[in-house]
Structure formats: C-alpha cells, structure tokens
Chain A
Amino acid sequence: MSKPNIQLDNNGRLKHFLTIDGLKREMLNEILDTAESFTGVSERVVKKVPLLRGKTICNLFFENSTRTRTTFEVAAKRLSADVLNLNVSTSSTTKGETLLDTLRNLEAMHVDMFVIRHSDSGAAHFFATHAAPHISVINAGDGQHAHPTQAMLDMFTIRRHKGEFTGLRVAIVGDILHSRVARSQILALNTLGTSEVRVIAPRTLLPPDPRTMGVHVFHDLEEGIKDVDVIIMLRLQKERMTGALLPSEHEYFQLYGLTEKRLKAAKPDAIVMHPGPINRGVEMDSQVADGPRSVILQQVSFGIAVRMAVMSMTMGTQAQGAAAR
C-alpha cells in the first residue's frame, strides 16, 4: 500500500472513487458525514442544490444495471449537474471501438466526471489513469473487484441504525467469491473498526483463503448469524448454477436462505440488508424481505445521499486543481 493512491490528490482529498482499498477511516467517515447532510435535500420541496450546476456527468455502463445507474442519475440531478446516460453494451464497443477511444470521444464532449460500470476488473482504474487531469472517475462496479459506493451506502445504513462500528458483529451471506460488493464491504467494515466481520457461504463460493480478508468463516447459516447485529445477504447470480458451483436455487434456499425462523438466531434488533434486486425465495423469503427488520429500501434512499457526497467531494478537488493553474 506504499504506492501513491491515484484516488487522492496532492492534498490528500478524494479525486476519484475507485475502491475502498487504501482509504483511511477518516476519509470514509468524511464521506458518511457529508452524505448525512445530503439526506435532507431529498426530503425538501425543491429536491436540488446548485453545487454542480454546469457540470456534465457521464454514466457509462458497460453492464446492465437499473438501480445503481438510476440512483447515480438522481444523485447527479439533485446536485444540478447535467447527466449523460450511455449503455455501451448496445453502443460503439460492439462496432469495435476500444475503451480508450470511447474515453477520448466523451472527453471531447467536455464531460467532467465519469461514473463507470464494466465487467472487467480495473476498468475504472484504467479510466482514471488515462482521463484528462480535470476529470473525476467513480467506480460503479468493475468485474469482481470493487463496488465502493454500494459498500459506503451499506456503511451509512449500518451507522444510521447502530451508531458506532466498534462492538458490532456483521455477517455477510452468499457468493463471497464472485462478489465485488462483498469485497468492498469487508474492506469498509474493517477500516471502520467493526469488531467482527463474518462471511457465511458454501466452500465453492468462498475464495481459497478468506481469512486473509480479515473475516471469520462459517458454512452454516444459523451458526454464522448467531448474535450478529447486521446481516447482509448477497444477490445470487443465476449463472453460478450453470458453473456447477451450486446444485440448485431450491437447495441453496434450503441451506442459505434467510427465513423468519432462522433470523431468530441473530440479535433481537438485528437489521437485514441486501444490495438488490432480491431473488425472493432464493436468498431470503418475502416475509423477511418485507418484514420489520429489513432496511433494504432505506439502502436505496441512502444510496442517493452517499452518491451525492462522493460526487461533490471528488468534483470539489477538481475545482482546486483549476484554481491552482
């Protein structure tokens, strides 16, 4: 971690937001605190502040997404920025345009920020490395690497309900091996000083040595969620079934599906989270998803505030660079 973090500018402020890796606890807290002050904006008559007026933000999605893209779009609009939505899977790359060509063309349209989702790990880093110096890049999910804004909105939701991270026991359930969400969550939870982070998954959906990630490993759901404060269910990607990593959805639910009955093992005030969209009857049954412990829809609302925070913080450093010139 001694190499310079390209996410930070010369003053140590957030310039790009690509991964939780390498960011200090103070920075994560600054994002959470800033997000806190943005939550009020969404509840007002005029749901807009003029902070990024005249800026152009490009949502560049090489992978399908509804929720993430929409909340980034809403966040940008509530900051008064102009938004360009590009679903590139249906666009130029199918005509043979390279990632760098795409970047150069959008730069020529004077875009100030890229929000990028791509199936290749490292795509957002590539953009941040090659983009003109005044441009900020936010990673909206790259391959199996990272999804830092999702992790931060989860941290925000946990902090809202539980306060401090010290003393908390958090369990992440599901496909840890392929999940960029889980990877970012584990980094964020540990950076923020969570007392115990647990992962609960079948062996086929765990990396070879999960303990190096700073987690406790469980293979049994009820044992794993015993006395936890927070349960994070991950989305099960259907294509894992075809990869022979899992026998069937039905069997997965039998072993790892969260039900009211199983939830009793957790603390009585434990909250249940899910990055969405939920496969009802696979990761959890509807009773839990719509029940009093579920904070899944709050995660969506908080996602807007967190993305507003990250966008304004990174654009703010861009401004500083301009003044220095």
Chain B
Amino acid sequence: MQAEAIEGLITEMAQAIKTRLEVQQATEPAMIGIHTGGVWLAERLHRLLNIEQPLGTLDISFYRDDFTRIGMNPKVKPSQIPFEVEDRHIILVDDVLQTGRTIRAAMNEIFDYGRPASIILATLVERSGRELPIQPSIVGVRPPLTHEQQITLTGPDPLNLIIGTSKQETRGTS
C-alpha cells in the first residue's frame, strides 16, 4: 500500500478518534506510540488531533513475555512518557495488531507510570492471529491475510505497508 493511501487512512483514523473521545467525554487526552512503527503513526495522529500534551513513546522490550525465550532486544529505545498518566485518557497507538501480546506488554508498562482514566487502542492494521482477548477501538484497515503472510510498516517518511510471505520474522509478535 502506498504512502498517499496510508496518509488517507490516518486522517480517517484521526477523525474516528475525535468522535470516540467526544462520545466518551474524554477531555485533555494524551497519546502514546509504541516503537517503532507505532511512533511514526502517533506523530501524525498527534499533529492531526492537535493534542496539547507532548507525545509519549514506549519501547516494550522490558515487558515482553518472550524474554525468557529470545533474550534482550539489542536495540531497545528508552520509553518516554512526558506527562502524568494518573487519571488521564490515553490513546495508545501501534502499527499492526496481530497476537495482542505487544499491547498487553504496553498496558502493563503504562500502569507502572500511573492509573489512567481510560485507554483506547488505535492501530493502522488489524489482522488475524490474536492470541489474547485484545480488540482495537480504532482501525485503519483490516486486510485479509493468510497465516503465512507478514505485514510490515516501513517509514518514517514515506510510510509504506509491505506484505511478505517469509516466516523468518521471529520478533513479529504484534
């Protein structure tokens, strides 16, 4: 999928998030992107929604449930939450939702910063392969993919969605 189409999806997602926040009467929300693709996406949504609080970023490497199987990710980036999480409405952003394990890890990490008022999950792609009962609130696209197919967001500029069939992506636990 090409850059222009993706930017279109992001604009639609921003609109959907706006509506959702209004319905929920969630004021003064904050946004957190998950490294790396989620941050690219969050930077755009954050701008489109004109959110007052600075954007937060999470690297969930310290919270992964597969650390005892694959070890330390050598390219960990620092998590930065530059706002008070306590009692805040959080928009959590990731690129691809597949197993749900990344989101579980991210939510655990967020709770170590404080108790949010609510979390809504926005992902550019929702695909099959869920291993945990986690559902997104806002979705850009739901491509029909087979079990063997991998979908990856490349970026940060331009953004591209690439579908591959290799199974060698061992860290793919989106």
Which residues from chain A sit less than 8 Å from chain B, CB to CB? Answer: 13, 30, 33-34, 36-37, 39-41, 44-46, 48-51, 312-313, 315-317, 319-320, 322-323
Contacts and interface: CB of A to CB of B under 8 A. Distances in A.
B80 A30 contact: no
A315 B63 CA distance: 15
B25 interface: no
A315 B68 CA distance: 8
Nearest to B78: A37
B62 A33 contact: no
B67 to A, nearest CB: 6
Interface in B111-126: 112-114
A39 B78 contact: yes
B78 A50 contact: no
A319 B76 contact: no
Contacts of B80: 40
B110 to A, nearest CB: 11
Chain B contact-residue range equals 20 to 34
B71 A317 contact: yes
B106 to A, nearest CB: 13
A312 B79 CA distance: 17
Contacts of A317: 71
A41 B81 CA distance: 11
A50 to B, nearest CB: 6
B37 to A, nearest CB: 18
Q: Shortest 10 CB-CB distances between A and B: which pairs?
A: A316-B71, A316-B72, A49-B62, A46-B112, A37-B76, A37-B78, A319-B68, A323-B69, A40-B78, A313-B72
Interface of B: 59, 61-63, 67-72, 74-80, 108-109, 112-114
Nearest to B67: A51
Contacts of A48: 112
B59 A34 contact: no
Given A34-B76, A48-B112, A41 B62 contact: yes
B79 A40 contact: yes
A319 B75 CA distance: 18
Given A44-B112, A312-B72, 6 more contacts: A33-B75, A34-B74, A313-B72, A319-B70, A320-B69, A323-B69
A49 B71 contact: no
A164 to B, nearest CB: 20
A315 B113 CA distance: 25
A36 B77 CA distance: 8
23 contacts: A34-B72, A36-B78, A37-B61, A37-B62, A37-B76, A37-B77, A39-B78, A41-B62, A44-B112, A45-B113, A45-B114, A49-B62, A51-B62, A51-B63, A312-B72, A313-B71, A315-B72, A316-B67, A317-B71, A319-B68, A319-B71, A320-B70, A323-B69
